């Protein structure tokens, strides 16, 4: 079991929580899972800081998630707050997040029926932006810019 987990960790970044869940879901005892995670951490197969950086970069770049959604997902994986803050500061600068929000909401706006009232469009875009993890002030600014062009 440890050999499979070691191979899994060498192929891609995993966090301690994921490794523990893997061991427990494959029938390992809690004590065996803890010792396996300790072994993997000591031998640098698992590093929560490295995982947080990779996770945040992937979700920001490819899934177009905002900082709030990335932070929530990392908290769900029991990543320490210091690693979350460091990872977010490396990938999600305010200017880049604003531009991504505008771009993603513009795509969304093209897919929405354009004969709807602006208030309905505003609500749909706001829900979309918040669900993507963008801050409310970024969403408001992006929506204002997009709806002003209509």
**In angstroms, rounded to a whole number, what is the distance separating the alpha carbons of residues 43 and 37?**
10
115 or 81: which carries more pLDDT confidence? 81
Position 126 scores a pLDDT of 97
Position 25 scores a pLDDT of 95
Q: Is the pLDDT of residue 1 over 90?
A: no
Residue 147's Cβ-side half-sphere holds a number of Cα atoms within 13 Å equal to 19
Position 104 scores a pLDDT of 95
Q: Are 70 and 44 in contact (CB under 8 A)?
A: no
Q: Is the pLDDT of residue 51 over 80?
A: yes
Q: Are 74 and 91 in contact (CB under 8 A)?
A: no
Q: What is the mean pLDDT of the chain?
A: 93
**In angstroms, rounded to a whole number, what is the distance separating the alpha carbons of residues 92 and 37?**
30
**In angstroms, rounded to a whole number, what is the distance separating the alpha carbons of residues 112 and 135?**
22
pLDDT of 72-113, one tens digit each?
A: 999 999 999 999 999 999 987 778 889 999 999 999 999 887
Position 2 scores a pLDDT of 87
When pLDDT is cut at 50, 70 and 90, the band that residue 30 belongs to is: very high
Q: Determine how many CB atoms are found less than 10 A away from the CB of residue 75.
A: 12
Share of the chain above pLDDT 90, in %: 88
Task: Give the residue-averaged pLDDT of 5-22.
Answer: 94
């Amino acid at each position: 079991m440890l050999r499979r987990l070691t191979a899994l960790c060498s192929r891609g970044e995993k966090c301690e929580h994921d490794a523990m869940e893997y061991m427990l879901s494959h029938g390992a005892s809690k004590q065996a899972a803890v010792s396996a995670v300790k072994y993997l951490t000591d031998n640098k197969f698992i590093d929560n800081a490295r995982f947080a950086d990779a996770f945040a970069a992937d979700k920001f770049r490819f899934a177009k998630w905002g900082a709030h959604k990335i932070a929530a997902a990392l908290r769900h994986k029991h990543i320490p707050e210091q690693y979350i803050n460091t990872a977010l500061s490396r990938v999600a600068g305010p200017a880049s997040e604003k531009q991504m929000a505008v771009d993603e909401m513009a795509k969304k706006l093209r897919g929405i029926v354009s004969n709807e009232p602006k208030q309905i469009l505003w609500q749909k875009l706001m829900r979309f932006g918040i669900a993507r993890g963008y801050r409310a002030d970024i969403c408001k600014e992006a929506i204002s810019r997009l709806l002003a062009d209509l």
